[in-house]
Structure 1
Amino acid sequence: MTCCLLNGKRSYTNMLKDTRPYPLVLVVIFLLSFIIPNSPAKADSMPIMGASMLTSKQMGDYVLLTYPTPKLTSVNIYQLADLYLEIGRKEGVRGDIAFAQAVHETGFFKFGGDVVPEQNNYAGIGTTGGGVKGAYFSSPDEGVRAHIQHLKAYASTEPLNTVLADPRFNLVKRGIAPLWSDLNGRWAVPGRGYGEKVLQIHMDMAKMTLAIPNVYLPANHGLPVARLMISSDVDMLNPDGTFYKTVKKDESIRVYGVLGNSYDVGGGYLIEANSSKMGAYIGRALVNNTNTIMYSPDGSVHRIFQKGEALRVYDYDDSRYQVGGGYYISASDKPVYHLGRIKLSADTDFYSPDGTPFTVLNKNKEYRVYGIDGNSLDLGGGYTIRYDKKTMTYIN
């Protein structure tokens, strides 16, 4: 039985709706990951406050590996993970470990106890058992915000940076529990080993092999599959794992694949994934409709774009394009998604979908690339060119 909030008792498990398929090979990857040495972090030395390390893809894949149909309301598991990372960043709380706590509290988002999915209550706030439902939150964003704020109430005396959502924030003695082990007997009653259980889930999530959303690896071509946007200085490692150089904040680096929990940035050089220091975008969305809306993570209107503007895309599904920080544009606005652009320095043969020559493209022109298959670059409608690095420059 798990419990939450002050000294109340409670038990529940819950679930989400996610239409994204995931490969069965995840099972193999997860099992093989146990051969990688990973010294468990002790709960009595792991602070609640701090920067997240994992990516939303690792976090979501871990949940789906155990429970393929988590019960959520208006987000999928990856979007929920993004909310934990983004709101955790704003409040200085380890959003990735908070997500692990939500996994523990909800039983991989199956729910099934006093709390129901429609409450958007991922931490059992206000639930004391015996049929007591606890707090209701109007959206996943508000539910995550309340969870992160409740952790901050226990772990810190610093003021909130987001609008108060936690109904029991002011009932906590501020700063009384800076470590995850300090939640034993507080968040959970009797709570023996509670913090350790949460951290074990986090360590299991960290064993998930890094993946790039909507990118199938290994690629069958030598062009970059994504680009890292660096938000804080990071180390680039030599192929043998030794330090090579520091990549500075605001630099961008091409990504050619992944190796373990690191991005392959070409030539065998690696950058270890860290969601608090970087994000990997996979393409761009060209705004095609005037007054295309960018939505905040909570679903409110953030700003309006005009036709012709382009946005980096970090992930997408049938309903939306994620453009960073949990912000998104709707697929119903029909943006033109493409992987990158190709510049031609020589006249180039252009082929029909059936592979026969169609025309010749003039040099010094630039075209959007919608797909890459081997050395074949799809420039739209199935019409292709054959990539030649001597006469072409690919930009992603």
Structure 2
Amino acid sequence: MFTNNDINFEALKRKAYNGRWATLEDGIIPLTAADPDFRTAPEIEQGIIEYLKDGYLSYGPFSGLPEFKKSVADHFNQEKHGSFSPENILAVNSAAQGMSLIASYVLNPGDEAIILDPVDFLFKKSVETAGGKVMLCPIDTATGEIDFEKLVSLISSKTKLISICNPHNPLGKVYSKDVLVQVAEIAAAHDLWVMSDEIWSDIIYDNKSFYTYSSVSEKARKKSFTVYGFSKSFGIAGLRIGAVLCHDQDTLEDFIEKSNFNSTIEGVSTLSQIAGSVALERAKPWYKEFLTHLQSNRDLAFRLLSRSEIVTPNLPEATFVLFPKIKNGMTSDEFAQHVLTHGKVAIVPGSERWFGKGAEGHIRICFSTSQEILEEGINRIITSF
């Protein structure tokens, strides 16, 4: 199901944008955007077809279809130690939109938000779009550990939000229950909101336990938002479907009102919600096979890169990206450009634009492809020097 023969390269060249097959000239292997090379689960395809059969594509409820909200709540409760009810869920147009809406809801112009450094660029972008000021809290790029002393020192009267990425993109770190409790204690002591981006929480290796942020304590539950999406675990990025989860019903209703989800100004495609719901209810067997394949790819990529003289790889606990440290003195941009020119492989540089200041000196490699493509791509990277 996840071999090279299962990849439809012609379809990818027509449809896979965002720095991938459709945007690059022939002969270049993209190990760039975190998007699988495999077609989505047959159950999801079938679910969409079934929904369309009666020919009706009517308005759905503004906050999301009941079956979508129930499937997300059940998934978090069964797999992530959650305690959500369907009423705690809002369907949104992708996890990225959820992050942006939360920043706009929590921050007034001039307010400060603490984000991790390095981390995916959407954290910074969502704060700045809301008129907020970003405060960077460094994390150890080798271990993913948060510098809590530094975190506390960044808090001022202007601070309103702490944003965490768990599992962490690009380091692949899964934060333990104890670490999340520590975040919650600090946030509660200073009356801060916490946003936890958990879009990667299905892609976790070695059967490691995952705790959704709001589940770790009453303090965590009280003043937090959780963001979730389907693009990583189920390969439906183009359907733009995600969810915002919040335990406090008054807060969520106010959030829905202020984010324009109480009218036809906002709202999410019902077709996308059906795809998400079917993914969680019927496509778990497909997803489990995908996860097994990804873990095997992770181990392969780590082995190949460990033998090279050019980078020191990390072994991620989650996600399907590696974040190796460059050993040969090149900047991230120089390294990525060299590999593209001489090895015909596209990778993401660990530059400030994509991950913040703390990412410099690293590259990000996506491994959600076939073993053959991954092996070829990494061998090209190594032999390009």
Q: Give the TM bin, normalised by the shorter chain.
A: under 0.3
Output the TM-score relative to the length of structure 1. 0.24
1 or 2, which has the higher strand percentage? 1
Q: Higher Cα Rg: structure 1 or 2?
A: 1
Q: Which has the higher contact order (CA 8 A, sep 6+)?
A: 2
So what's the TM-score if we normalise by structure 2? 0.25
Q: Which has the higher helix share?
A: 2
